[in-house]
């Protein structure tokens, strides 16, 4: 692991964002010491940066939530390894909550391009690992329904997207056999972390409403500006962030790191 990882601070909310390999991984540690892992990041030599970080801090048993925001290959890499390592049958009573949007069948094969096939295979493996744990212990299932709130230590997690309408539209597309044409970014999960006076938006590949800012699927009635962390430098190339307002909201407030 790179030597720049900060020490754990018992009274601070800490957020680690990764993108040195393939993926957009975010880890959140909320006082007194609970972790949320959002998506994954992987290279050929480091199968799961999330696992590497947790092992660096010896914090495997402090993970309370794992979520895959949506089934794209640059978010799923490393999730299968993380779930497999943390959620073995023998420690089932202590499993974290495990979240993803469902249903989501395997991606379409692009014949002849094994690189795309490989990435798709890793998504399938992540889906399989999550589905297996859900089946074995239904209580660990986290459906990521908008409005759902969960405690993460002294912080609160609130699911902000996708909207029920986007979800229904995706389901209808699946039933009609048009899943390949549906932009999965429209059902990406966005989670707000609230800690003391801070609110941090964690959202991968959220679809922008052109000219109106915000995410197509996220609505917030709060008048006070939301503190938004920068998204991982690897932005999804299929849905561009064109709204300058979202860039302005990326400056973090003091007190969060």
Partner 1 sequence: MAFPAVIDTREVVEETLRRIDHGSRRIALVGAPSSGKTTALAGVATHLASAGWSTFRTSMPSGDDAGPLALTLLADQVGSGEVIRNSATTWASKVDATVAATRERAQMSPVLVTLDDPLFEQPGMLPTPFTEHATSLIGALSGIDNVAFIVASSRQVPQSWGQLVKLEVETAADNVLAAFDGGPFATAAKQVKKLGIDRLAKRSPAEVRLVVAIEKSQRQSKAAFEAEMLPLTLLQQALDAWEPDARRALRRLSVLRTPFDDQVLDELLEGVPASTDAMIRGVIVHRTESGWVVPEIVGRAVKPTAWQRDRGAVDDPAERRAHQVARAYHQRAFARAASSDVLLSSIRHELEELHHLTQLNDAAAIFARSVYFVDTYDALGKRSGQLGVRSHGDDQRRLFESAVTAYQRSLDLDDTNAYAHHYLAYNVDWLANNAARAETHYLRALELRPDQVWYHGRWISFLVTCGRVLEARDAWSAAMAEFGDDRPAWLFDELHRQIARLLLQRGELDFAKLVLDDLSDDAASSAWARAERRLFDRLDQAARDQLVFPSSVVPARRWDGPHLVHAEARASVKRWWAGRIETWLNDEVVLRLAEGPDRFGQKTLPASEFRKLLGVPLRRVPAGTFIELVYWRTSKQIFVHPGEVDDVDLPLVIPPADRYLRRAADASLPRT
With binding defined as CB under 8 A, does residue 126 bind partner 1?
Answer: yes
- Judged by CB under 8 A, the residue of 7, 237, 244, 254 near partner 1 is 237
Supply 76's token pair.
């799923």
Q: Which residues contact 257 (CB under 8 A, 6 or more apart)?
A: 6, 9, 12, 13, 14, 15
Among 118, 245, 251, 257, interactor with partner 1 by CB under 8 A: 118
The CA distance from 71 to 120, in Å, is 9
Candidates 110-118, 190-198, 201-209, 217-225; binding stretch for partner 1 (CB under 8 A): 110-118
Distance CA 112, CA 34 (A): 44
Answer yes or no whether residue 132 interacts with partner 1 by CB under 8 A.
yes
Q: For residue 86, give the 3-state DSSP assignment.
A: helix
DSSP bridge partners of 25: 18
- 4 lies in the site for partner 1, by CB under 8 A: no
Q: How far is the CB of 122 from partner 1 (least distance, A)?
A: 5
- Pairing relation of β-strands 190-195 and 213-215? unpaired
Please say which residue, 13 or 126, places its beta carbon nearer to partner 1. Answer: 126
Binding residue for partner 1, selected from 8, 19, 60, 124, defined by CB under 8 A? 124
Nearer to partner 1, 31 or 120 (CB): 120
Q: Does 178 bind partner 1 (CB under 8 A)?
A: no
Q: Per 3-state DSSP, what percentage of the chain is helix, strand, and coil (rounded to 5)? A: 30, 25, 45
Is residue 183 close enough to count as binding partner 1 by CB under 8 A?
A: no
Q: Residue 201: left if φ>0, alpha if ψ -120 to 50, beta else—which one?
A: beta
C-beta of 44: minimal distance to partner 1 in Å? 4
Report the residue number, 32 or 105, with the smaller CB distance to partner 1.
105
Closest CB to partner 1 among 89 and 251? 89
Nearest CA among 47, 141, 129 for reference residue 88:
129
Residue numbers of the site for partner 1 (CB under 8 A)? 22, 43-44, 47, 80-81, 83-85, 88-89, 102-106, 110-119, 121-122, 124-132, 135-136, 171, 174-175, 237-238
């Amino acid at each position: 692991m790179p030597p720049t990882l900060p020490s754990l601070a018992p009274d601070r909310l800490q957020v680690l964002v990764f993108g040195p390999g393939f993926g957009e991984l975010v880890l959140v540690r909320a006082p007194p010491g609970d972790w949320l892992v959002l998506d994954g990041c992987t290279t050929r030599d480091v199968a799961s940066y999330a696992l590497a970080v947790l092992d660096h801090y010896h914090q495997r048993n402090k993970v309370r939530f794992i979520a895959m925001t949506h089934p794209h290959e640059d978010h799923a890499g490393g999730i299968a390894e993380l779930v497999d390592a943390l959620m073995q049958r023998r420690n089932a009573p202590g499993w974290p909550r495990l979240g993803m949007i469902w249903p989501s069948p395997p991606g379409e094969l692009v014949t002849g391009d094994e690189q795309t096939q490989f990435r798709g295979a890793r998504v399938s493996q992540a889906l399989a690992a999550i589905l297996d744990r859900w089946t074995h212990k239904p209580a660990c299932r986290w459906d990521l329904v908008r409005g759902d709130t969960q405690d993460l230590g002294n912080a609160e997690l609130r699911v902000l997207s996708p909207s029920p309408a986007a979800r229904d539209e995706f389901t209808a597309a699946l039933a009609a056999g048009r899943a390949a044409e549906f932009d999965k970014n429209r059902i990406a999960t966005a989670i707000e972390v609230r800690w003391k006076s801070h609110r941090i938006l964690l959202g991968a590949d959220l679809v922008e409403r052109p000219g109106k800012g915000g995410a197509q699927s996220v609505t917030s009635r709060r008048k006070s500006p939301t503190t938004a962390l920068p998204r991982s430098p690897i932005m999804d190339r299929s849905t561009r962030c064109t709204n300058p307002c979202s860039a302005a909201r990326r400056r973090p407030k003091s007190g969060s790191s």
